[in-house]
Amino acid sequence: MLTIENLKKRYGERTVLDIERLEFEDGKRYALLGANGSGKSTLLKILAGTERASEGRTVFPDGVKTAFMPQHAVGFKLSAENNLRIVCNDKALIAAALKEFDLGTLKSKNAAKLSGGETQRLALARTLLVPFTLLLLDEPTAAMDLNSAQAACDAIKRAVTDSIATLVFATHSLPQAVRLADFLIFMDGGVIAEVMSSECPLTDVKDVRAQAFLKSIIG
Amino acid sequence: MLWQSIVRAFELMGENDPLLNEIIATTMKMAFTSSALALLIGVPFGILIGISKFPGKKIVITVLHACMALPSVVVGLTLYILFSGTGAIYSVRLMVVAQVVLIAPVTAGMAESYVTALSPWLTETAKGLRLKKPKVLFLAVNESKYQFIVIYLMAFARSISEVGAVQIVGGNILHETRVMTTAIALNYNMGQFRYAVALGIILLLIALGVNTVATIIQHKLK
Ligand SMILES: Nc1ncnc2c1ncn2[C@@H]1O[C@H](COP(=O)(O)OP(=O)(O)OP(=O)(O)O)[C@@H](O)[C@H]1O
Ligand SMILES: [Mg+2]
Give residue A217's pLDDT: 87
How much of chain B, in percent, has pLDDT values that exceed 90?
A: 68
Spatial distance between the Cα atoms of B34 and B158, rounded to a whole number of angstroms: 10
Give the whole-number percent of chain A exceeding pLDDT 90: 97
Residue B104 has pLDDT above 80, yes or no: yes
Residue A157 has pLDDT above 70, yes or no: yes
Q: What is the pTM of this model?
A: 0.86
Q: How many CB atoms lie under 10 A from the CB of residue A167?
A: 24
C-alpha to C-alpha distance for B116 and B52, rounded to whole angstroms:
10
Round to whole Å and give the CA distance between A41 and A60: 18
Q: How far is A176 from chain B (nearest CA, A)?
A: 23
The count of C-alpha atoms lying within 13 angstroms of the C-alpha of A15, restricted to the half-sphere facing its C-beta, is: 11
- Centroid of ligand 1 to alpha carbon of A37 (angstroms): 5
H or E element at residue A11: strand A2-11
Size (chain B), residues: 222
What is the band of B76 on the pLDDT scale with cuts at 50, 70, 90? very high
Instruction: Out of A7, A40, A137, A169, give the residue to mutate to test ligand 1, the one with the largest number of ligand atoms within 8 Å of its CB.
Output: A40
What would the pLDDT profile of B11-21 be if each residue is shown by its tens digit? 888 888 899 99
ipTM value of the model?
0.94
The mean per-residue pLDDT over the stretch B127-151 comes to 91
Tell me which residue has its CA closest to atom 27 in ligand 1: A36
How far does A63 lie from chain B, in Å, by closest CA? 14
Whether A50 and B127 lie within 8 Å, measured CB to CB: yes
The predicted pLDDT at position B222 comes to 66
A9 Cβ under 8 Å from any chain B Cβ: no
- Does position B119 have pLDDT exceeding 90, yes or no? no
Compare all CA atoms of chain B with the CA of A126 and give the residue at the minimum distance: B129
* CA–CA min distance B210, chain A (Å): 27
Question: What value does the mean pLDDT take over residues A177-186?
Answer: 97
Interchain CB distance below 8 Å, B125 and A136: no
Mutation for testing the A interface, residue in B52, B118, B129, B138 having most A CBs under 10 Å: B129
- Helix H or strand E encompassing B74: helix B72-83
Q: Please name each of the domains of chain B with its CATH number.
A: 2-221 (1.10.3720.10)
pLDDT (mean) for B204-218: 83
A84 in contact with B, Cβ within 8 Å: no
* Residues 154 through 183 of chain A touching chain B, CB cutoff 8 Å: none
Is 90 exceeded by the pLDDT of residue B49?
yes
What is the arrangement of strands in the sheet containing A134-138, beginning at the earlier edge strand? A66-69, A134-138, A166-170, A29-33, A183-188, A191-197
- B37-62 mean pLDDT: 94
For residue range A189-211, list pLDDT tens digits in order: 999 999 999 999 988 999 999 99
What's the length of chain A? 219
CB contact (8 A) between residue A87 and residue B143: no
**Average confidence score pLDDT of chain B:** 92
Pocket of ligand 1 from Cβ distances under 6 Å? A 11, 16, 34, 36-42, 71
A49 neighbourhood in chain B, CB within 8 Å: 127
Q: Does the pLDDT value for residue B124 go beyond 80?
A: yes
A123 touches chain B (CB under 8 A): yes
Residue B193: what pLDDT? Answer: 86
Cβ of residue B54 closer than 8 Å to a chain A Cβ: no
Answer yes or no: do A86 and B139 touch at CB < 8 A.
yes
A172 pLDDT band (50/70/90 cuts)? very high
Q: Which atom of ligand 1 is nearest to the CA of A190?
A: 14
pLDDT over 70 at B107, yes or no = yes
Q: Give the C-alpha separation, A24 to A182, whole Å.
A: 11
CA of A186 to the centre of ligand 1 (A): 16
Q: Please say if the pLDDT value at position A60 is more than 70.
A: yes
Q: Tell me, what's the pLDDT at A153?
A: 97
What's the confidence (pLDDT) of residue B6?
Answer: 83
Mean pLDDT calculated for residue range B82-100: 95
Average pLDDT score over residue span B143-171: 91
Would you give the DSSP letter of residue B190? T
How wide is the angle at C-alpha B134 spanned by C-alphas B131 and B137, nearest 5°?
Answer: 95
Lowest mean pLDDT segment, chosen from A116-120, B85-89, B90-94: B85-89
A44 C-alpha to ligand 1 centroid (Å): 11
Which residue, by CA, sits nearest to atom 24 of ligand 1? A36
A78-107 tens-digit pLDDT: 999 999 999 999 999 999 999 999 999 999
Contact A68, A74 (CB under 8 A): no
What is the SS3 string spanning A51-102?
CCCCEEEEECCCCCCEEEECCCCCCCCCEHHHHHHCCCCCHHHHHHHHHHCC
**Nearest residue of chain A to residue B123 (CA atoms):** A50
Lowest mean pLDDT, pick from A136-145, B29-38, B51-60: B51-60
Phi/psi-derived region of residue B175, left when phi > 0, alpha when psi is between -120 and 50, beta in every other case? left
Q: What are A33's strand-pairing partners? A: A186
